[in-house]
Amino acid sequence: MTNKEDVLRKARELQQSIQNLETVQYYKQVEAQIHQNEHIAEQMNMLKQQQKQSVNLQNYDKPVAYQRSEETIQAIQTEIDDMPIVSEFRQAQREANDAIQFIIETLEDGIDITRLDTQLETEASEDKSE
């Protein structure tokens, strides 16, 4: 019989194995490059400031200024999106997420199979006792 500590130990081992996956390692590497990129940080700060300003303009019912602000936001967002490192980051993120999702689905399927096996065993033993 498996106890809670064994399950937690196995979960930590699985967590470490996932962190060591090539796709996850690559994602972490690209993510670090994103965080170290000063130009991206500047653009993100500008974007956040412009978004705050846009909300204020909308709240104060300034439709023309709000529209200009939204256009500026779109331009900044496009500049960020067009950076190769950002595209690479998003691709790495998708691949890492896909790998993790596959692992989760595999675990869920295994748990469902185990539950089904338990149900079948219970039903079989009930049939024998009748």
Q: pTM for the full model?
A: 0.72
User: One-letter amino acid identity for 24?
Assistant: V
The pLDDT tens digits for 18-71 are 999 999 999 999 999 999 999 999 999 999 999 999 999 999 999 999 999 999
Residue 27 CB neighbours (<10 A): 22
High-pLDDT (> 70) share of the chain, %: 84
Residue 130 corresponds to which tokens in the numbers above?
A: 């009748």
Question: What one-character DSSP code corresponds to residue 21?
Answer: S
Structure tokens at 90: 């998003």
Residue pLDDT, tens place only, 61-108: 999 999 999 999 999 999 999 999 999 999 999 999 999 999 999 988
Q: Which amino acid makes up residue 10? A: K
Q: All domains of the chain, ordered by start, with CATH?
A: 7-129 (1.20.1500.10)
